[in-house]
């Protein structure tokens, strides 16, 4: 299924270029006084930002565009077996885990479609490079952007002379290739045999210089550039829904790789009477303008890499439609599971021993989903990563994002027995529940309660757990940071239940040992202080330097020393606490549950009850998303 799209470090597109892509737009710093809007349910939207690669279609400045590229990032830790990898997977410039995940897929594909690779080239003995791009190329997917035509004069001077001889498309591909200089992506068995007649270093160096320059910009310059960019994007960031101005979600079409995304690939969905927004890519038009008020998307396109899957532009998190569905999600989990959970549990417990095997499987699967907050586990295509959820459980497997789920759980005896029985005669790769799939399970759950699906259990479990923990661990006179710690602890428990993992940061060990050193130092200090105290008590002279290594004019009184000791002990305690937390959280991601599973009203109500400012718990993005929950009653319980 998926792309070998390379991951890039985005380059800063120069603001002037963006100006150009946005030219056609009305100026609307203040979109409040926009002209009246179309009344259709859904959308009158503003234009999307399309990052077309054919930026050079505007050559009014009489200057050729410059190609710039984004640095390619290779997964860091898998050099060991590089040589064995097929070209396709070596082109995966993705993070390690995703890399792993897709490796299998790509290997599979590589085996099943002998046609690739599909990038062909011809390379003459002169330094002219031609790389022909084939229509269905999905082998090398490299994003890049075209540099703004108006170059600063110095930069212009930097351009290699021969660069001028490229036509823009050649520049583009040459640049894509050039920045891969440091890597060994082109392998022996690639259809490209020789590129040694070409010297890519000038392009490469130019790109590196550009990157460097960008990094060198002063804080102010960066800020100014950022603000300018924001301003340009502002007019694409809002939509009118039933007359209400709402924030649009991520609205940028992905930057093109060898695939050249253009306006005519994008379908937009606007109100019947809404004026058709102008396609921001000069000379291009929308593929289609639809007026479908039964869906929420504002725009959609396909990436030819993966033509079966659409990419969408949706409204932002703070939009009424998103809020509505978020609220529905929590209400569903809360009110309904509260009213139904007893019966649901009784039913599946009863069905553990049903005569009907399918029923028993449903019962056990529901039990696991309830108890372990597993995901449903929809069927997946051949081409997708081999990961599982509850209904697709195997005996050895990976979960979403190819993250291994390992857990020992105590289960009730009948469950254990049934699982053993389902297991009988099966092999590692077989499904535990052979009479079951996610849609059957959901169909069953639907009968138990309207709106009930497997994922509701997850929401329910996450939220109820947070609510429980927050209301359990009330310490009378906890100070603010202790309260925050209680919250974070509860959050962590939820993240563990949901198996929200993250990779251990590269520098984790290093950071820990640094902290270790620091606490070691503090401990030494403490020891010294204690000896000094003993001496002071006995009236003996104290060392000239104190525990912190500073010179001291006079001896300290035992009282003063006691105070210092207390302080030092507290410091050590705090630091060790921090270390423990850090260690505890090194593989646990808290954000996902906060954003997707925890009813924000639990947090808000708890903050109100405990005089914790909500800003302590939610950052600005979260505050925006959860604004609807701010008025909740302090007594709210999930």
Partner DNA sequence: GCCCACACTTAGAATTCACGTT
Partner DNA sequence: AACGTGAATTCTAAGTGTGGGC
Look at residues 253, 259, 63 and name the one whose alpha carbon lies nearest to residue 163. 63
Whether the CB-CB separation of 494 and 603 falls below 8 Å is answered with: no
Q: Least separation, in Å, of the C-beta of 597 and DNA?
A: 6
377 binds DNA (CB under 7 A): yes
* CB-based contacts of 538, cutoff 8 Å, min separation 6: none
1 binds DNA (CB under 7 A): yes
376 binds DNA (CB under 7 A): yes
Binding mask 184-203 for DNA (x = CB under 7 A): --------------------
Binding mask 222-251 for DNA (x = CB under 7 A): xx--x-----------------------x-
Q: Phi and psi dihedrals of 312, rounded to 5? A: -125, 155
Known active-site residue 597: yes
499 binds DNA (CB under 7 A): yes
Q: Which residues pair with 289 in a beta bridge?
A: 268
First-to-final CA distance of the chain: 39
Q: Least separation, in Å, of the C-beta of 374 and DNA?
A: 8
Q: Least separation, in Å, of the C-beta of 530 and DNA?
A: 26
Look at residues 200, 188, 72, 184 and name the one whose alpha carbon lies nearest to residue 131. 200
Whether the CB-CB separation of 345 and 460 falls below 8 Å is answered with: no
Q: Least separation, in Å, of the C-beta of 157 and DNA?
A: 23
Nearer to DNA, 129 or 572 (CB): 572
Q: Least separation, in Å, of the C-beta of 272 and DNA?
A: 16
Q: Least separation, in Å, of the C-beta of 451 and DNA?
A: 7
Look at residues 496, 466, 486, 484 and name the one whose alpha carbon lies nearest to residue 600. 466
Nearer to DNA, 217 or 474 (CB): 217
Residues 528-567 close enough to bind DNA by CB under 7 A: none
Look at residues 320, 317, 315, 319 and name the one whose alpha carbon lies nearest to residue 248. 315
Residues 583-622 close enough to bind DNA by CB under 7 A: 589, 591-593, 595-597, 619-621
- Name the residue with tokens 């209904």: 391
Residue 595's CB is within 10 A of a number of other CB atoms, namely 14
Please pick, from the candidates 384, 473, 546, 571, the single residue that binds DNA as defined by CB under 7 A.
Answer: 384
Please pick, from the candidates 58, 133, 213, 254, the single residue that binds DNA as defined by CB under 7 A.
Answer: 254
Please pick, from the candidates 138, 171, 303, 351, the single residue that binds DNA as defined by CB under 7 A.
Answer: 303
User: 384 is written with which tokens?
Assistant: 């997708």
Q: Least separation, in Å, of the C-beta of 535 and DNA?
A: 30
Q: 307-313 long-range CB contacts below 8 Å, 24 or more apart?
A: 308/1, 309/1, 311/253, 311/254, 313/48, 313/248, 313/249, 313/250, 313/251
Please pick, from the candidates 205, 234, 292, 468, the single residue that binds DNA as defined by CB under 7 A.
Answer: 292
Binding mask 402-441 for DNA (x = CB under 7 A): xx----------------------------------xxx-
* CB-based contacts of 172, cutoff 8 Å, min separation 6: 53, 67, 144, 146
Rounded distance, CA 209 to CA 620, Å? 35
Please pick, from the candidates 19, 201, 320, 325, the single residue that binds DNA as defined by CB under 7 A.
Answer: 325
For the sheet containing 43-45, what is the strand order? 43-45, 238-241, 244-247
Nearer to DNA, 532 or 593 (CB): 593
Nearer to DNA, 150 or 378 (CB): 378
Q: Considering CB under 7 A, how many residues would be counted as binding DNA?
A: 90
**Sign (positive or negative) of CA dihedral 26, 32, 35, 41:** positive
Pick the piece of the chain touching DNA (CB under 7 A) from 123-131, 173-181, 300-308, 549-557.
Answer: 300-308
Alpha-carbon dihedral angle through residues 157, 158, 164, 169, given to the nearest 10 degrees:
-140
Q: Least separation, in Å, of the C-beta of 166 and DNA?
A: 26
> 3-class DSSP state for residue 201?
helix
Q: Least separation, in Å, of the C-beta of 578 and DNA?
A: 9
459 binds DNA (CB under 7 A): yes
Pick the piece of the chain touching DNA (CB under 7 A) from 119-127, 294-302, 539-547, 568-576.
Answer: 294-302
Whether the CB-CB separation of 553 and 496 falls below 8 Å is answered with: no
- Dmax (CA) of the chain: 92
257 binds DNA (CB under 7 A): no
Look at residues 301, 322, 305 and name the one whose alpha carbon lies nearest to residue 249. 322
Residues 30-59 close enough to bind DNA by CB under 7 A: none
143 binds DNA (CB under 7 A): yes
Pick the piece of the chain touching DNA (CB under 7 A) from 21-29, 80-88, 183-191, 507-515.
Answer: 507-515
Please pick, from the candidates 168, 255, 256, 271, the single residue that binds DNA as defined by CB under 7 A.
Answer: 255
Nearer to DNA, 314 or 367 (CB): 314
DSSP state of 315: B
Residues 79-138 close enough to bind DNA by CB under 7 A: 94-98, 101-102
Q: Which residues are catalytic?
A: 597
């Amino acid at each position: 299924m998926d792309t070998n799209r390379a991951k890039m470090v985005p380059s800063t597109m120069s603001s002037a270029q963006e100006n150009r892509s946005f030219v056609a737009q009305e100026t609307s710093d203040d979109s409040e006084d926009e002209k009246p809007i179309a009344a259709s349910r859904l959308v009158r939207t503003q234009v999307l930002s399309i990052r077309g690669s054919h930026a050079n279609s505007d050559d009014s400045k009489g200057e050729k565009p410059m190609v710039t590229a984004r640095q390619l990032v290779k997964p860091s830790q898998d050099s060991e077996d590089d040589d064995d990898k097929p070209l396709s997977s070596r082109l995966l410039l993705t993070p390690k885990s995703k890399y792993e995940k897709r490796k299998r897929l790509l290997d599979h594909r590589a085996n099943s479609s002998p046609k690739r690779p599909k990038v062909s080239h011809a390379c003459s003995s002169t330094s002219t490079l031609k790389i022909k791009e084939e229509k269905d190329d999905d082998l090398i997917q490299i994003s890049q952007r075209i540099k703004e035509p108006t170059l600063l004069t110095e930069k212009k001077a930097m351009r290699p002379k021969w660069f001028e001889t490229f036509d823009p498309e050649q520049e583009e591909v040459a640049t894509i290739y050039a920045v891969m200089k440091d890597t060994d992506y082109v392998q022996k068995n690639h259809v490209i045999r020789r590129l040694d007649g070409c010297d890519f270093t000038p392009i490469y160096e130019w790109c590196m210089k550009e990157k460097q320059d960008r990094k060198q910009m002063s804080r102010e310059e960066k800020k100014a550039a950022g603000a300018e960019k924001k301003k340009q994007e502002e007019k694409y960031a809002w939509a009118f829904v039933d007359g209400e101005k709402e924030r649009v979600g991520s609205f940028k079409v992905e930057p093109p790789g060898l695939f050249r995304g253009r306006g005519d690939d994008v379908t937009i969905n606007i109100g019947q009477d809404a004026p058709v927004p102008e396609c921001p890519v000069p000379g291009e038009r929308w593929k289609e303008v639809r007026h479908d008020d039964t869906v929420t998307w504002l725009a959609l396109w396909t990436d030819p890499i993966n033509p079966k899957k659409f990419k969408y532009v949706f409204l932002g998190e703070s939009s009424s439609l998103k809020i509505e569905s978020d609220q529905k999600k929590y209400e569903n989990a809360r009110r309904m599971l509260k009213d139904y959970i007893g019966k649901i549990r009784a039913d599946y417990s009863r069905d553990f021993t049903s005569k009907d095997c399918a029923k028993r499987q449903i019962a056990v699967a529901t039990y696991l989903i309830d108890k372990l907050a597993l995901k449903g586990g929809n069927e997946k295509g051949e081409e997708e990563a081999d990961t599982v959820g509850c209904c697709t459980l195997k005996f050895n497997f990976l979960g979403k994002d190819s993250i291994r789920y390992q857990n020992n759980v105590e289960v009730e005896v009948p469950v254990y027995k049934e699982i053993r029985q389902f297991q009988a005669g099966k092999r590692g790769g077989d499904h535990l529940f052979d009479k079951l799939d996610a849609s059957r399970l959901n169909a069953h759950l639907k009968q138990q309660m309207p709106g009930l699906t497997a994922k509701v259990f997850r929401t329910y479990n996450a939220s109820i757990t947070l609510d429980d923990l927050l209301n359990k661990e009330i310490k009378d006179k906890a100070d603010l940071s202790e309260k925050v710690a209680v919250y974070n602890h509860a959050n962590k428990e939820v993240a563990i239940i949901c198996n929200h993992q993250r990779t251990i940061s590269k520098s984790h060990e290093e950071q820990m040992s640094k902290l270790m050193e620091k606490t070691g130092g503090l401990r030494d200090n403490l020891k010294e202080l204690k000896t000094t105290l003993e001496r002071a008590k006995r009236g003996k002279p104290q060392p000239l330097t104190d525990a912190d290594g500073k010179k001291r004019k006079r001896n300290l009184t035992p009282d003063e020393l006691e105070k210092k000791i207390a302080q030092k002990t507290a410091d050590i305690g705090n630091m060790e606490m921090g270390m423990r937390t850090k260690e505890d959280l090194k593989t646990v991601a808290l954000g996902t549950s906060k954003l997707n599973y925890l009813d924000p009203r639990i947090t808000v109500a708890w903050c109100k009850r405990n005089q914790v400012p909500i800003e302590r718990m939610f950052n600005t993005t979260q505050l925006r998303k959860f604004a609807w929950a701010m008025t909740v009653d302090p007594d709210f319980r999930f």
